[in-house]
Amino acid sequence: MKKIMLYTLYNMIFRSHNEAKIKRKSIKSRQFPYEIEVMAENLYVPWGIDISNEGNIYFTERSGTIRIIKDGKLQAQPLITFPEPFVSQGEGGLMGIAIDLNYTQNHYIYVMHSYLEGNEIFNRVVRLFENNKKLSIDRVLLDKIPGGKIHNGGRIKIGLDEKLYIATGDAGNSGLAQDLTSTAGKILRIELDGSIPKDNPITNSPIYSLGHRNPQGLAWNWKNVLYESEHGQSAHDEINIIKIGANYGWPLAYGNEEAKGIMIQKPLIHSGEETWAPSGIAFVNQGAWQGKLLVACLRGQQLLSITFNENGTVVNKIESWLRNEYGRLREVILGKDGSIYLTTSNMDGRGNPNIGDDKIIRLIPK
């Protein structure tokens, strides 16, 4: 046992040393336009981040806690630790987070999490209320989303239309992605009180688009174009433009394949035979990367920046940054001051944990 522990520690130190060399070389040769700061470390799978108008950083850990970084310092006590029937198994647990646009008045925060009912795993979206530095469940907005140990999706974002958008995976049952009676394998859209928007494509249904395998990123550009990142099968990871009522093909087709007998929306771009495992995405509206879509990659262990045409509908260029420097990247979000925040996901059972993992990393404009 002592030999194993020493070997593991040696590998962690060796990796840390080499990553530092790679980082210095990369930044020098590529003229990286940001300073790098580790804001928090020794976390457990920080999954989603949102930033309040006051500048406080709220984030979820997949094990079931919501924590806060205030005035640049990680607060020791979580705002909430989810009790049973909450469950964190495999890719499930506490996932996406979104802060209400009127948070300073109503103190609402929205999250998506897994829970156990009998022997079945489901996901749900809940509204939380903050009072005296504590969060409590105020209302369940959307329940009984099929879940599992894989393909839960999990990203939630508030759109420019002030609706809540929810990315759900197929929960390992690919047929659900084409089932209009199921909320799995979809992009869902609801009002902030949980009601169904009247202009959704299906009356009295939260379904906004269908045919998704495992979507984990949502972001809008300056023209209100909604981008989505999605894990493909056997590579072929996708970046899509989400259109209301569109079918994205899974499991009938993926990549640039056609689907017999149905009209499907092809991806804006896909990774081909390379695996990105794209998770969180963010559109940058200022600074050195203005106009680019950033993509945090898990298995790909890199941050992609995608440059588009002037309408944001054609990919002109893809660049890779921070490759293999911090391991698996789970989330990326833009701060109001132009800083970019990343989370690592090396403690999720598929990574190679380094000293201090997992981390929240801030890229500060030079």
| pLDDT value, residue 261 | 87
Residue range(s) defining the domain that contains residue 230: 14-365
DSSP bridge partners of 304: 295, 320
Establish if 49 belongs to a structural domain: yes
Rounded to an integer, what distance in angstroms lies between the CA atom of residue 258 and that of residue 321? 32
Establish if 161 belongs to a structural domain: yes
User: Rounded to the nearest 5 degrees, what angle is found at the Cα of 119, between the Cα atoms of 113 and 124?
Assistant: 20
Q: Is the pLDDT of residue 237 over 80?
A: yes
13: pLDDT confidence band, cut at 50, 70 and 90? very low
Q: Is the pLDDT of residue 215 over 90?
A: yes
Establish if 2 belongs to a structural domain: no
CATH number at residue 299: 2.120.10.30
Nearest to 365, CA basis, from 74, 51, 32 = 32
254: pLDDT confidence band, cut at 50, 70 and 90? confident
- What would the two tokens of residue 55 be? 């500048």
Establish if 279 belongs to a structural domain: yes
Task: Give per-residue pLDDT as tens, 267-325.
Answer: 999 999 999 999 999 999 999 999 999 999 999 999 999 999 999 999 999 999 999 99
For residue 96, the surrounding DSSP H or E stretch is: strand 94-99
Is residue 31 packed enough to be buried (19+ CB in 10 Å), middle (13-18) or exposed (0-12)? exposed
Give percent of the chain with pLDDT exceeding 90: 89
Q: Is the pLDDT of residue 3 over 80?
A: no
Establish if 80 belongs to a structural domain: yes
**Averaged pLDDT for residues 122-127:** 98
Q: Is the pLDDT of residue 68 over 80?
A: yes
Task: Give per-residue pLDDT as tens, 288-303.
Answer: 999 999 999 999 999 9
Rounded to an integer, what distance in angstroms lies between the CA atom of residue 347 and that of residue 39? 17
Establish if 8 belongs to a structural domain: no
- What would the two tokens of residue 351 be? 């990574």
Nearest to 200, CA basis, from 159, 169, 240 = 159
Q: Which amino acid is at 58?
A: Y
Establish if 29 belongs to a structural domain: yes
Establish if 7 belongs to a structural domain: no
Question: Looking at per-residue confidence, does 352 or 9 come out higher?
Answer: 352
Looking at the 3D structure of the chain, how many domains does it have?
Answer: 1
